[in-house]
């Protein structure tokens, strides 16, 4: 019996999964260190966990899965580790993109791209272009991403509109800022999961996480699997989402 089925039985009702789940994939290095393996092996096993999680998300009926794959701060890691991570990205796109496309997965990329190595930029663009018309799971990959930097980009876009006379400063609202973020058409995540036991967002989706439910799991990312995802969703279902009010908002599935 899965964790989700167990919650169904206790509650005596069925429910839809959260529409949008975001995951901070953390713990590759510590997973490797515990086993006396190089950090690169932890990252390679992390790619296997990514594959498992994408399949599980599709099976569970999640509409949008956002994965924090590489932060804007990760460039400060040792050069050899950064090269290893870029190699894994290349192999993932080249080896897995066709399967994702076959399974009707749409790939979206958020983060700063204009300063990336041209080959990496082309791979990311290829993933988006090939899968643009797909209608199944939307897989959002946060690459070279930082939430503060994303908000700064939105502010610059709004400032340019003000400077051009197309927007009055007093017309800037929370809604207009949200409309200038990297993926304004996507709903905010209902659930954000962080693996490895760390309990912070680490500059991930800070704007969008305003009313997300946060679930921190002790599992290192390479060991994350469908059961761990189901367990996190079951915990999400036990929460009462008030969105700043006194009662859960109707129609949220909570």
Active site residues: 26, 74
* Angstrom distance (rounded) from CA 28 to CA 125: 26
Strand stretches in 86-196, DSSP E: 106-110, 138-145, 191-194
For residue 132, what are the CA distances in angstroms to 7, 63, 143, 241? 35, 15, 18, 32
* Angstrom distance (rounded) from CA 195 to CA 91: 24
Give the CA radius of gyration of the chain.
19
Q: Number of C-alpha atoms within 13 angstroms, CB side, residue 103? A: 17
The residue among 185, 195, 203 whose CA lies nearest residue 23 is 195
């Amino acid at each position: 019996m899965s964790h989700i089925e167990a919650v169904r039985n206790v509650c005596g009702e069925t429910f839809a999964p959260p529409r949008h789940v975001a995951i901070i994939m953390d713990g590759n290095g510590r997973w490797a260190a515990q086993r006396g393996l190089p950090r690169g092996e932890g990252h390679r096993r992390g790619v296997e966990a990514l594959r498992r999680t994408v399949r599980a998300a599709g099976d569970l009926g999640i509409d949008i899965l956002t994965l924090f794959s590489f932060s804007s701060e990760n460039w400060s890691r040792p050069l050899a580790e950064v090269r290893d991570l870029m190699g894994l990205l290349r192999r993932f796109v080249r080896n897995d993109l066709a399967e994702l496309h076959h399974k009707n997965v749409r790939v979206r990329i958020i983060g700063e791209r204009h300063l990336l190595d041209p080959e990496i930029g082309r791979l990311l663009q290829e993933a988006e272009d090939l899968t643009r018309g797909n209608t199944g799971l939307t897989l959002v990959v946060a690459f070279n991403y930082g939430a503060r930097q994303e908000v700064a980009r939105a502010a610059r876009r709004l400032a340019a509109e003000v400077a051009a006379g197309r927007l009055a400063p007093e017309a800037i609202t929370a809604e207009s800022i949200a409309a200038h973020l990297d993926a304004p058409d996507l709903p905010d995540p209902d659930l954000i999961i962080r693996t490895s036991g760390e309990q912070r967002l680490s500059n991930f989706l800070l704007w969008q996480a305003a009313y997300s439910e946060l679930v921190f799991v002790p599992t290192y990312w390479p060991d994350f699997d469908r059961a761990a995802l189901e367990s996190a969703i079951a915990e999400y279902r036990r929460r009462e989402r008030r969105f700043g009010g006194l009662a859960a908002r109707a129609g949220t599935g909570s």
